[in-house]
Amino acid sequence: MSATTLPTVAAPRPLTRRVGNVVRLHLANPFTILGTPVIVLGLIFAVNWMIWWIIRTAAPADPQSVADVSAGFQYSGATLWIFVYMMVVAIMAMNLTFSFALGFSSTRRDFLLGSGLTFVALAAFYAVAYIALAAIETWTGGWGVGGAMFNSIYFGVDEPWWLRLFHVFALFLFFFAAGSAFGSMYVRWKARGLILFFSLLSIAIMAAVALITVTDSWAGVGEFFGAAGFTGSYALSLVVSLIAGLAAYLILRRATPRN
């Protein structure tokens, strides 16, 4: 009588390793998430510096005029493109990496945890880099011409650096979470799902605007955000980011990867 050899069952991989594999998968092409933003940001900076120099040269040289010009430069949206770009990065990650990760035996939970960890890490990295560049901008007197590209009024230029760091980090998280939700919708429902979603979202926004206008509540809305301030408003965005991340999870739970 011969002995029966039972097949060896491989031990399950630990969660940290599975999530780490997804993170490495997202970072497999660093040029997309690091190289492209640096190159585009450099080009935008060069164009803005030339504009600052032309305006500063043409403006009067008295201290009050110099201060007014520098204050006007703070209303710059030159860096806002990078937040939208990170949303595109998240959309591409959901659309292109999801089926690839599942093909390498990652579960949907592994993929979502790994994606979330990647996006939080990228948001932290870019927020620190943003505030560091803002500090250099201040130290150099606005790059020698009083310019303001990273000390933007939209992040609370008069706030302490650590609060501005939170503001930038929260905004990066918002766009990463929104991109994750949009990408998940496309994975599951393709273009029809996105068209339907944005149609309903447009109707909801227009209905809200109409309701606020009819009830003459714009002053109240302004008072609410004025009382919340920069920090309170960006903190509220974390709630939206959490909802978007949860929506991405629920959508991908039933999504079927397709070529």
**CA 150 to CA 130: how far, in whole Å?**
7
Residue-wise pLDDT tens digits, 163-203:
999 999 999 999 999 999 999 999 999 899 999 999 999 99
Where do we find the tokens 């969660």? 15
Percent of the chain with pLDDT over 90: 58
| Mean pLDDT rounded to a whole number for the chain | 88
Q: Is the pLDDT of residue 99 over 70?
A: yes
Taking residues 81-95, report their average pLDDT: 91
Burial category of 77 from C-beta neighbours within 10 Å (exposed 0-12, middle 13-18, buried 19 and up) = exposed
Highest mean pLDDT among 2-6, 170-174, 223-227: 170-174
**CA 247 to CA 84: how far, in whole Å?**
19
Question: No. of H helices and E strands in the chain?
Answer: 8, 0
Taking residues 233-247, report their average pLDDT: 95
* pLDDT recorded at residue 232: 95
- The domain spans of the chain are 78-141+153-253
DSSP 153: G
Query: Of residues 253 and 232, which shows the higher confidence score?
Result: 232
Residue-wise pLDDT tens digits, 102-147:
877 788 889 999 999 999 999 999 999 999 999 999 999 999 998 8
7 C-beta neighbours (distance < 10 Å), count: 5
From 137, 26, 133, 156, select the one nearest 86 (Cα to Cα).
Answer: 26
Q: If you compute the radius of gyration of the chain from its CA atoms, what whole number of angstroms results?
A: 23
**CA 95 to CA 257: how far, in whole Å?**
9
Query: Of residues 170 and 62, which shows the higher confidence score?
Result: 170
Query: Of residues 223 and 64, which shows the higher confidence score?
Result: 223
**CA 1 to CA 14: how far, in whole Å?**
39
AA identity, residue 209: V
